[in-house]
Amino acid sequence: MDNINKKLGKLPQKNDKRTLKLAKYLDFSTFPPIPEKIIWSKAISKWTMMKNDEVGDCAIAGIGHIIQTWTANESTEKILTDDQIVDNYSAICGYDKENDQNDNGCIMLDVLNYWRAHGIETHDIEGYVSVNPKNKTEIKAALYLFGSIYIGLNLPLYAENNNEWTVPPIYQGEETIGSWGGHAVIIVDADDDNLQIISWGKRMRMDWKFFQKYCDEAYAAFGPEDWITDGSAPNGFNIDELRKNLRKF
Give the Cα separation of 230 and 239 in Å (integer). Answer: 9
- Compute the half-sphere exposure of residue 32: CA atoms within 13 Å on the CB side of its CA: 9
Question: Could you tell me if residue 78 is inside a domain?
Answer: yes
Q: For residues 214 and 191, what is the distance between their CA atoms, to the nearest angstrom? A: 19
What is the average per-residue pLDDT within 65-70? 96
- Write the DSSP assignment of 85-123 as a string of letters: HHHHHHHHH--BTTTTB----B-HHHHHHHHHHH-BTTB
Length of the chain equals: 249
- Whether 20 maps to a domain, the answer reads no
What's the distance, Cα to Cα, between the start and end of the chain in Å?
40
Residues β-bridged to residue 185: 151
Give the β-pairing of 149-155 and 181-190: antiparallel
Examine residue 13 and state whether it is found in any structural domain, yes or no: no
- CA dist 215 and 24 (Å) reads 20
Q: Domain of 44: which CATH number?
A: 3.90.70.10
- Categorize the per-residue pLDDT at 248 as very low, low, confident or very high, splitting at 50, 70 and 90: very low
Q: Residue 23 domain-assigned?
A: no
Q: Count how many domains the chain has.
A: 1
Asked whether residue 120 is assigned to any structural domain, the reply reads yes
Q: Mutual orientation of helices 82-93 and 108-118 as an angle, nearest 10°?
A: 110
The predicted pLDDT at position 116 comes to: 93
| CA–CA distance, 235 with 207 (Å, rounded to integer) | 24
Say what the pLDDT of residue 23 is: 83
pLDDT score of 249 = 41
State mean pLDDT over 115-142: 93
- Using one digit for the tens of pLDDT, what is the confidence trace for 186-244? 999 999 999 999 999 999 999 999 999 999 999 999 876 656 655 555 555 555 665 66
Is 101 contained in some domain?
Answer: yes
Give every CB contact of residue 26 below 8 A, 6+ residues apart in sequence.
141, 145, 245, 246
List all residues 6 or more positions away from 191 whose beta carbon is below 8 Å from its beta carbon: 36, 37, 38
Would 166 be classed as within a structural domain?
Answer: yes
For the entire predicted model, the pTM comes to: 0.92
Q: Tens digits of per-residue pLDDT, 147-176?
A: 999 999 999 999 998 999 999 877 778 899
Which residues does residue 215 pair with via DSSP β-bridges, in sequence order? 153
Structural domain range at position 191: 34-245
pLDDT band at 34 (very low <50, low <70, confident <90, very high): confident
On whether residue 22 sits in a domain, the answer given is no
- Cβ pair 94, 104 in contact under 8 A: yes
CA distance 243 to 246: 5
Task: Give backbone dihedrals phi and psi of 247, rounded to 5 degrees, phi first.
Answer: -60, -20
